[in-house]
Amino acid sequence: MKKLYIETYGCQMNVNDTEVIFAIMQDEGYGRTEDISEADVILANTCSIRDNAEQRIRGRIEQFSHYRKKRPGTIVGIVGCMAERLKDKLLDSGRVDLVAGPDAYRSLPSLIASITPDHPAINVLLSHEETYADINPVRIDKNGVSAFISIMRGCNNVCSYCVVPYTRGAERSRDPRTIIREACDLWSRGYKEVTLLGQNVDSYFWKGEGGNVDFADLLAAVAKINLRLRVRYSTSHPKDISDKLIETMARHGNICRCIHLPVQSGSDVMLEKMRRRYNRQWYLDRVRKIRSEMPDCVITTDIIAGFCGETEQDHRDTLSIMEEVGYDSAFMFAYSERPGTLAARNYPDDISPEVKNRRLTEIIELQNRLSLESYRRDIGKTFEVLVEGPSKRSPRELCGRTGGGKMCVFSSTGKDLAAGDYAFVKVRDCTSATLLCELV
């Protein structure tokens, strides 16, 4: 059997795409390996979201040549968002045999078959229909408890800083029947948690013979598969998160109380320039609605520091919205100009690296305090966690997440618990990223 090795960068959607690629290649007789030195095909499933993501991957491509030299005939391929963005430019170095964009994975076997020492293969066509709906992904998660399901692809939003609409193409939703089938199959194989994925899940929409299905309908249908199946999703767009969705979450105990709601900035001027199509007041209103329906709901976010023309006042607006919402955790980034985006074409990237980094540091420091406060509020509370396995720190301890997604560690002495079991724990203490608990 030929061996396929894939390294995955970027978002959860890329992780799921890697699973789709393994499934497509398995049908052609390729088995998965985690040992790069024995691979017949080495793929990097890449991300273009920020320049530093791409730089890291470029470094890896150089290292791949080493394996190609050692084992002549080994194919090195770049797939995913960087493949889509840079297209045949990736072939210039002579280190790459294959380039395939996110909608071209079905053609991987034929592309690979066509490669000769002088002829690399490339397919970067984007599609309006491809959702890989019929493909049953080969799961690469470690514990058989939690799996991703892509429910849509692409993005129609064109936020001015963002490369995703160019690398992933137009938004399209996947047939809900195939999503439900996949979730049922995971449940029957012992999985206890599914995460529905899309760049903007709130705009999921399927026009079917039996009626239309929006994201709230889909979420409810997945939640009804079994009350012991936990359902998560990512990512919500603040402009589109509807009352219906929030109320649907509140009605189903197994839809996790956890919403990732990227704010990007707390300044209306920046939000307008970013083309986010909501303002601060709208965002805060959505947070109020979430909290009124689900007071215990965890809210997390993404923030960009130092976008074009950002003033100190704009920056302070970001810090103040963070305080106002009291995020439980956040992903925080310095703005990175991406070639071809609206921002790159229209606004100079005029905040110096020093100022960007200073602002980013202030944002991170504030979030560390907010996270610690959020975790401290849980001390003394009892949560039901889904056990993921032994904790990283100690094999005698187990770890598992609350419905809100917070990581708990606890000693399992005396109880026979394994990955996939549910357990009740009481929080004794915490750090800013972990709840230290005991079984109850």
Residues contacting ligand F3S: total by CB under 6 A = 13
Q: How far apart are CA 109 and CA 120, in angstroms?
A: 13
Q: What is the DSSP letter of 175?
A: P
Single out the segment in contact with ligand SF4 by CB under 6 A; choices: 2-10, 15-23, 158-166, 185-193: 158-166
Q: Which does 158 bind (CB under 5 to 8 A by kind): ligand SF4, ligand F3S, ligand SAH, none?
A: ligand SF4
Residue 302 sits in the site that holds ligand SAH (CB under 6 A): yes
Considering only 304, 408, 425, 430, the residue that binds ligand SAH (CB under 6 A) is: 304
Which amino acid is present at 418? A
> Rule CB under 6 A: which of 195-224 touch ligand F3S?
none
SS3 sequence, 241-258?
A: CCHHHHHHHHHCCCECCE
H/E segment holding residue 431: none
* CA-based nearest residue to 176, from 204, 135, 136: 204
* CA-based nearest residue to 323, from 259, 281, 369: 369
> Rule CB under 6 A: which of 417-436 touch ligand F3S?
none
Considering only 50, 315, 401, 406, the residue that binds ligand SAH (CB under 6 A) is: 50
Structure tokens at 361: 């540091």
Residue 349 sits in the site that holds ligand SAH (CB under 6 A): no
Residue 358 exposed, middle or buried by CB count within 10 Å (0-12, 13-18, 19+): middle
Write the binding mask 81 to 110 for ligand F3S: x where contact by CB under 6 A, - elsewhere: x-----------------------------
Residue 76 sits in the site that holds ligand F3S (CB under 6 A): no
Residue 168 sits in the site that holds ligand F3S (CB under 6 A): yes
Structure tokens at 87: 């297209």
Residue 102 sits in the site that holds ligand SAH (CB under 6 A): no
Residue 148 sits in the site that holds ligand SAH (CB under 6 A): no
Single out the segment in contact with ligand SF4 by CB under 6 A; choices: 76-84, 160-168, 223-231, 280-288: 160-168
* CA-based nearest residue to 196, from 155, 236, 228, 148: 148
Single out the segment in contact with ligand SAH by CB under 6 A; choices: 332-340, 359-367, 415-423, 429-437: 332-340
Q: How far apart are CA 74 and CA 420, in angstroms?
A: 38
Give residues with Cβ within 8 angstroms of 90, minimum separation 6: 78, 82, 83, 96, 99
Residue that has been written with the tokens 């195939």 in this structure:
178
Considering only 24, 124, 162, 351, the residue that binds ligand SAH (CB under 6 A) is: 162
Considering only 4, 5, 6, 14, the residue that binds ligand F3S (CB under 6 A) is: 14
Residue 153 sits in the site that holds ligand F3S (CB under 6 A): no
**Omega of the bond leading into 361 within 30 degrees of 0 (cis):** no
Q: How far apart are CA 299 and CA 82, in angstroms?
A: 30
Structure tokens at 277: 């199509």
* CA-based nearest residue to 248, from 225, 295, 216, 296: 216
Q: How far from 18 is each of 25, 240, 374, CA to CA, in Å?
A: 10, 28, 34
CB of 338 to ligand SF4, least distance (A): 10
Residue 279 exposed, middle or buried by CB count within 10 Å (0-12, 13-18, 19+): middle
Which lies closer to ligand SF4 via its Cβ, residue 230 or residue 286? 286
Residue 49 sits in the site that holds ligand F3S (CB under 6 A): yes
Residue 164 sits in the site that holds ligand F3S (CB under 6 A): yes
Residue 170 sits in the site that holds ligand SF4 (CB under 6 A): no
Structure tokens at 423: 């357990």
Which lies closer to ligand SF4 via its Cβ, residue 162 or residue 425? 162
Q: What is the DSSP letter of 211?
A: E
SS3 state of residue 248:
helix
Residue 150 sits in the site that holds ligand F3S (CB under 6 A): no
CB of 261 to ligand SAH, least distance (A): 8
Which lies closer to ligand F3S via its Cβ, residue 9 or residue 206? 9
Considering only 25, 162, 303, 330, the residue that binds ligand SF4 (CB under 6 A) is: 162
Contact residues: ligand SAH, CB under 6 A: 49-50, 161-162, 199-200, 235, 237, 262, 264, 302, 304, 333, 335-336, 338
Which residues of this protein are in contact with ligand SF4, per CB under 6 A? 155, 157-159, 162, 164-165, 199-200, 237
Q: Site residues (CB under 6 A) for ligand F3S?
A: 10-11, 13-14, 47-49, 80-81, 163-164, 167-168
